[in-house]
């Protein structure tokens, strides 16, 4: 698989110490499976001493089934950067959203009461709390089936469950209403009290909007983690496919986007690899490890 290189982001002699890899649309194929080629490339990288971080919008428990398929040490940066955990579940870093900001967001988005949930970093079934979400919708049903053990319904109003700081307020719906939501949130007077990440699946007319703590993203949390390890951005390679990967791709010294990536991400000129159904991640990993 040929890697097409556009912008030069890193010193060609830099040694990659960390791979930061998105899950859905990048690590997993279009049917949600882990290709053997992707697994083998990660095992090879780990054997060379390269650390691997899965950097995802998924929550920890939703990431766990994927983690079980990878027989290597992993760092898990989940909920679009809100939490960093070990494979065993211990929390390394956490970036919460204040209860006050979450309550204001809910008050400003009452017309979306059937499209919103609050996410907490908890060990039990009260991790994802909603009021009126219709989980039978085709774009939500798969998520619900895989996460229903951690999802709970509450009577209105939803903001009454804010007895502690959440890690996220999570919205989902059709593409255009979610784009409008992002614009309205970023225009609020309290916009400096939170950050917004959007993930779009245009072909399905479905988007996810995650409202995290201020300054929180995949990229900012990855930067904190890399700094703690004593490394530099040019020692990081990142692979992704969607809009919520943008800050991560901009941070890393070497950045690759999948052939199936959204057009908006491809247009930014990162290195382009094959799709997630063509072993594109494996090709990207082996390409960026050539400097070792």
Burial class (CB in 10 A: 0-12, 13-18, 19+), 228: exposed
Does the structure show a pLDDT above 80 at 33?
Answer: yes
| Overall average pLDDT of the 14-21 stretch | 93
Which pLDDT tens digit goes with each residue over 174-187? 999 999 999 999 99
Binning pLDDT at 50, 70 and 90, where does residue 7 land?
very low
Q: What is the DSSP letter of 23?
A: I
Set out the domains of the chain in order of their start, with CATH numbers. Answer: 18-94+217-291 (3.40.50.1000), 99-212 (3.30.1240.10)
Q: Which residues contact 228 (CB under 8 A, 6 or more apart)?
A: none
- Whether the pLDDT of residue 10 is over 60: the answer is no
Structure confidence at residue 289 as a pLDDT band (50, 70, 90): confident
Q: How much is the average pLDDT of 148-169?
A: 94
Write the CB contacts of 230 (distance below 8 Å, at least 6 apart in sequence).
none
Asked if residue 57 has a cis previous peptide bond (ω within 30° of 0), the answer is no
> Is-contact 107 170, C-beta < 8 A?
no
- Over residues 249-272, the pLDDT tens digits come to 999 999 999 999 999 999 999 999
- What's the whole-number average pLDDT of the chain? 93
User: What is the reported pLDDT for 130?
Assistant: 96
């Amino acid at each position: 698989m040929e890697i097409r290189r556009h912008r030069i982001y890193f010193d060609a002699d830099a040694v990659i110490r960390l791979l930061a890899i998105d899950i859905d649309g990048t690590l997993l194929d279009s049917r949600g499976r882990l290709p053997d080629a992707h697994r083998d490339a990660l095992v090879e990288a780990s054997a060379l001493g390269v650390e691997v971080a899965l950097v995802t919008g998924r929550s920890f428990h939703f990431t766990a089934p994927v983690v079980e398929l990878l027989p290597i040490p992993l760092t898990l940066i989940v909920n679009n950067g809100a939490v960093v955990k070990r494979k065993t579940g211990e929390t390394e870093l956490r970036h919460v959203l204040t209860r006050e900001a979450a309550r204001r967001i809910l008050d400003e988005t009452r017309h979306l009461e059937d499209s919103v949930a609050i996410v907490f970093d908890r060990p039990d079934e009260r991790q994802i709390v909603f009021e009126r979400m219709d989980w039978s919708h085709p774009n939500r049903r798969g998520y619900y089936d895989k996460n229903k053990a951690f999802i709970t319904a509450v009577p209105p109003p939803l903001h009454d469950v804010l007895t502690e700081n959440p890690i996220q307020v999570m919205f989902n719906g059709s593409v255009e209403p979610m784009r409008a939501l992002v614009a309205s949130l970023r225009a609020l007077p309290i916009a400096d009290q939170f950050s917004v990440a959007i993930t779009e699946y245009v072909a399905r007319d479905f988007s996810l909007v995650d409202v995290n703590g201020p300054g929180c993203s995949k990229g900012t949390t990855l930067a904190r983690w890399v700094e703690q390890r004593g490394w530099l951005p040019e020692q990081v390679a990142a692979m992704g496919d969607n809009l919520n990967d943008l800050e991560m791709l901009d941070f890393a010294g070497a950045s690759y986007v999948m052939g199936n990536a959204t057009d908006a991400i491809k247009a930014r000129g990162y290195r382009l690899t094959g799709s997630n159904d063509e072993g594109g991640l494996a090709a990207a990993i082996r390409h960026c490890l050539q400097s070792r």
